[in-house]
Homo-oligomer: A and B are copies of this chain.
Amino acid sequence: MDALKARILKEGRNLGGGILKVDGFINHQIDPVLMNECGRELAHRFAPAHATKVLTAEISGIAPALSTAQHLGIPVVYARKTRPITMPDQVLLTIAPSHTKHRTVELIVSPEYVSPSDRVLIVDDFLATGQTILGLARLADAAGAAVVGIGVVIEKAFEGGRGVLAPLGVPIEALAIITDMSGERIVLA
């Protein structure tokens, strides 16, 4: 997606250690026009998958997942990292290591909203090590649902997540793929 790639090159900042700062348009401040275009493009790419539900993880997955869901016309569920008081006692929970936080996080979904008849499209802002998305796939699986695709805004290809997710056997789409951040620059595919 050219508009996204141009924005990453213009405003993204390589903070070193593989950390990409895109707080100005994705992670803290969101450009709603660009995000809407990202959602439109992901919806377009996954139209053949006939998803019934978009699944993401709070916090920064919400915006791209909602935008994608809007264009697909299907609900989005965001996995919580802490169990809110409105959730039932019986939940689906998995543990995922968080690369950027240097700890593990819980991903929690209520079985009320993901069911065996669901075809789940997983959407997130980043694909890095793939651990969060793998956790979301485990939650979908625990609910008896089928994962039909994985879509992300930005893939950091050098962190190997695509290989981690390959055994799921579903299409993986990234709107921008970063191949190298080892120097000071951001190198896009």
Contacts and interface: CB of A to CB of B under 8 A. Distances in A.
A40 to B, nearest CB: 12
Contacts of A24: 112-113
Interface stretch (A69-77, A149-157, A176-184): A69-77
A52 to B, nearest CB: 12
Given A15-B86, A23-B113, A86-B15, A29 B75 contact: yes
Interface residues of A, number: 40
A175 B8 CA distance: 36
Contacts of A27: 84, 86
Interface in A27-41: 27-33, 35-36
A32 B70 contact: yes
Number of copies: 2
B32 A76 contact: yes
Contacts of A84: 23, 27-28, 100
A21 B112 CA distance: 13
25 contacts: A15-B85, A23-B113, A24-B112, A24-B113, A28-B78, A28-B80, A28-B84, A28-B87, A28-B109, A28-B113, A29-B75, A30-B66, A30-B75, A30-B78, A32-B69, A32-B70, A32-B75, A35-B66, A35-B70, A58-B59, A59-B80, A62-B62, A62-B63, A62-B66, A85-B100
Interface of A: 15, 19, 21-25, 27-33, 35-36, 58-59, 62-63, 66-67, 69-70, 73-78, 80, 84-87, 100, 109-110, 112-113
Q: Which 5 A-B pairs have the closest CB atoms?
A: A21-B86, A32-B70, A29-B113, A32-B69, A29-B77
